Amino acid sequence: MSKMKKIVFLSGTRADFGKLKSLIKITQESVKFDVQIFATGMHLDEKYGLTVNEIYKSGFKNISTFQNHVGTAFMDRTLAKTIQGFSEYIAVKKPDLIVVHGDRVEALAGAIVGSLNNILVAHIEGGEISGTIDELIRHSVSKLSHLHLVSNEEAKKRLIQMGELEGSVYVIGSPDLDLMNPSSLPSLQKVKEYYEIEFKDYAIAMYHPVTTQYHNIEKHVEVFVNSLLESGKNYILIYPNNDLGTEEILKSYEVLKGNSKFKIFPSLRFEYFLRLLSEAEFIIGNSSAGIREAPFYNVKTIDIGSRQNNRSKAKSILNVSHSKEEILKSIINITNQNQKEIDISEFGEGNSNKLFLHLLISEEIWKVNYQKQFQDL
271-310 tens-digit pLDDT: 999 999 999 999 999 998 998 889 889 899 999 987 766 5
pLDDT in tens, 141-195: 999 999 999 999 999 999 999 999 999 999 999 898 888 888 889 999 999 999 9
Report yes or no on 374 lying in a domain. no
SS3 content of the chain, % helix, strand, coil (to 5): 45, 15, 35
The helix/strand/coil state of 120 is: strand
Query: DSSP string spanning 250-269?
Result: HHHGGGGTT-TTEEEES---
The answer to the question of residue 214 being in a domain is yes
- In terms of domains, do 173 and 193 share one? no
Confidence of residue 48 (pLDDT cuts 50, 70, 90): confident
Answer yes or no: are the C-beta atoms of 19 and 101 closer than 8 Å: yes
Answer whether residue 81 shows pLDDT above 60.
yes
Average pLDDT over residues 245-268: 95
- CB-based contacts of 355, cutoff 8 Å, min separation 6: 170, 172, 173
What share of the chain has pLDDT > 70, as a percent? 94
Q: Which pLDDT score is estimated for 39?
A: 98
Spatial contact of 126 and 142, defined as CB atoms under 8 Å apart: yes
pLDDT reported for residue 180: 87
In angstroms, the CA 339 to CA 23 distance is 32
Indicate the range of 243-257, 298-312, 313-327 predicted with least confidence.
298-312
Domain-embedded: residue 253: yes
Residue 256 shares a structural domain with residue 360: no
pLDDT tens digit sequence for 195-238: 999 999 999 999 999 888 889 999 999 999 999 999 999 999 99
One domain for residues 159 and 187: no
Measured distance between the N- and C-terminal CA atoms of the chain, rounded to whole angstroms: 33
Residue 64 has pLDDT above 80, yes or no: yes
- Confidence label for 63 from pLDDT (cuts 50, 70 and 90): very high
Q: Which residues, 6+ apart, have CB-to-CB distance to 234 below 8 Å?
A: 199, 201, 202, 203, 261, 262
- Identify whether 311 is part of a domain: yes
Phi, psi values for residue 146, rounded to 5° = -100, -30
CA pair distance 243, 225, nearest whole angstrom: 19
One domain for residues 114 and 138: yes
Does residue 376 belong to any structural domain of this protein?
A: no
Report if residue 79 sits inside a domain.
yes
pLDDT-derived band at 313, boundaries 50, 70, 90: low
Residues 150, 223, single domain; the answer is: no
* 130 plus 78 within the same structural domain: yes
Residue 13 and residue 153 share a domain: yes
> What range does the domain containing 359 cover?
5-180+350-367
Query: For position 35, which CATH number holds?
Result: 3.40.50.2000
pLDDT band at 341 (very low <50, low <70, confident <90, very high): low
Phi-psi region of 47 (alpha: psi -120 to 50; beta: other; left: phi over 0): alpha
Beta carbons of 290 and 297 less than 8 angstroms apart: no
Say if residue 356 is in the same domain as residue 303. Answer: no
> Do both 326 and 249 map to the same domain?
yes
Give yes or no for residue 339 having a pLDDT over 80: no
Does residue 359 lie in a domain region?
yes
Q: Are residues 255 and 325 in the same domain?
A: yes
User: How many domains, the chain?
Assistant: 2
Cβ atoms of 338 and 116 within 8 Å: the answer is no
Distance CA(128)–CA(151), nearest Å, equals: 9
Both 175 and 186 in a single domain? no
DSSP state of 292: T
Helix (H, G, I), strand (E, B) or coil at 99: strand
Provide the 3-class DSSP secondary structure of residue 126. coil
Over 60: is that where the pLDDT of 342 sits?
no
